[in-house]
Structures are given as structure tokens and as C-alpha cells.
Structure 1
């Protein structure tokens, strides 16, 4: 079913490494909170202290799982003359989409902002995101943050979808 690849996306490892580090750190903080002995100030209720401890533990676990989720949903796109192949190697998933099923491809600007400082937002990352809209209404996203050769891939998919 696979034919000669026109272009295959390359993974940008910086976000993956940052997500893995985040997952390990948040998991470690959750472990430390769970395994540490809790001291409660005089006059405080022990039950309230346990609720706070479990809430903080839950927040760290949510962030840790969220970071791992972003690593697991990593996608590698391969474009052939007949198909767009989406491969998610960490969950052993491969999907073939015939190019005839692509209705349109469009691009938009994305910006990731840091917390606002006073009245201004500090842009951490400015890039592009493309959406492939299929005839069945589903959308497939890819962006310049996670794909190193984003612009070459976008150019190829635009050309093949118009022909």
C-alpha cells in the first residue's frame, strides 16, 4: 500500500525533550509530596491538611500525565503520490489517507505567550499551523513547533492537494 515517499516529516526533538523533562519533574514532585511526612500548623485540622496534600499531588500528576500525552501523540507524516500517511510510532498507529479525501489545506499563525507582565504579553514562540480538512469533516493539524521541515512538507501537501 505504501509507494515512494515524496517527503517525510522530521521530528523536532526540543519539545519532546522538554515534555519528557516536565513529566519526570512533575512526577518526582508528586512522589515527594506523597511520600513526605506532613506537618500541620497548630490549630489546623489534619483532615484539611490531607485534602490540600492530595490536591497538590493531583495537580502534579495531571501535569505529568499531560506532558507524557504530548510525547505519545507525536506524529510523523509521510506524503506519497497517492496517500498521506500518519504514523504515531509510540502507540503503533498508522493511518493511510487517500489524497482524493483531502478537501482543503489552509494555514494560520500561532503564538504561544508567556504570562502577561503588566499590560504586555511576551511571545515565547511564533510559528505556523496547517490544517488539512478531509471530505468527512475531520481535521488534521501539523505545526512548525513539532516538525522541523514544516515549510517543505506544507508546500508539498499544498501542491498535491490542488492537483
Structure 2
């Protein structure tokens, strides 16, 4: 889990995602959703944009409930260990999660991974602090992942 600075950045990103995903009955950002990425694997990304969560859960996932990876439109990870990032990316790609953002709070960068295919992502884009990242799941919507210092 991220430190205090990371927690503040993730809370701010959660608020921006909630504001961006305003379509009724549509996607909702959830903090640390329990995601089933395989038959035996349950992961908790820092944030998740979940299809239908607003309708099904009112935007709040019950603590014991999990969502299938196919319902995850965006996973946001804030992992300090590069090895953990590589493992998570492979798992998300194998589960066909359309988009993953890896946030590095120390450097301020956000890496956006898209186009999962054969257990890997085919597209990687590096975004700097203050830049708005387009959300593939919400056409025409862009969100600033990390504020510029």
C-alpha cells in the first residue's frame, strides 16, 4: 500500500474519477475493490473503475463482494516494487482488463497500459504530473492522475 503522500494522491484521483464518471447506472470508481483476475487469484488494486457498479452497488462495493476482471474498466495501481508491477500487469492483461494505470507518486509519473493481448499490454504511454489522461472506457473524458507539484 502507498504511504501518506500516495494515499492523498489516490484519494484526489478517486474524487476526480467519481466526478468524471457521472453517467447514471454506469461505471463508478471504487477504492480497493476485490477483483477476481483468475480462478484462484483475488487482487485489490488501489482504485478500480467498475462497469455497472453505480447501478449494482450504489458506488460502494460491500466488503465481502468481488467483481470479475471483465467488469473492471480501469485498474489503478500504486506499487513501489517494479517486480510486483510486472506480475500485476501480466495478470490484468491475461484477464483482459482494458486499461491499467501505474502511478509512481515519488516521480509523479503515471504509466497507462492499454490493448491487452496474449498476457501482455501492447500499448504503454508515460504521462507527466498535471497531464490529463484519456479514459478509454469513457470516450471524451480525461482525468489528471497526479497533480503537478
| TM-score normalised by structure 2 residue count | 0.25
Structure with greater contact order relative to length (CA < 8 Å, sep ≥ 6)? 1
| TM-score normalised by structure 1 residue count | 0.24
The structure that is helix-richer by fraction is: 1
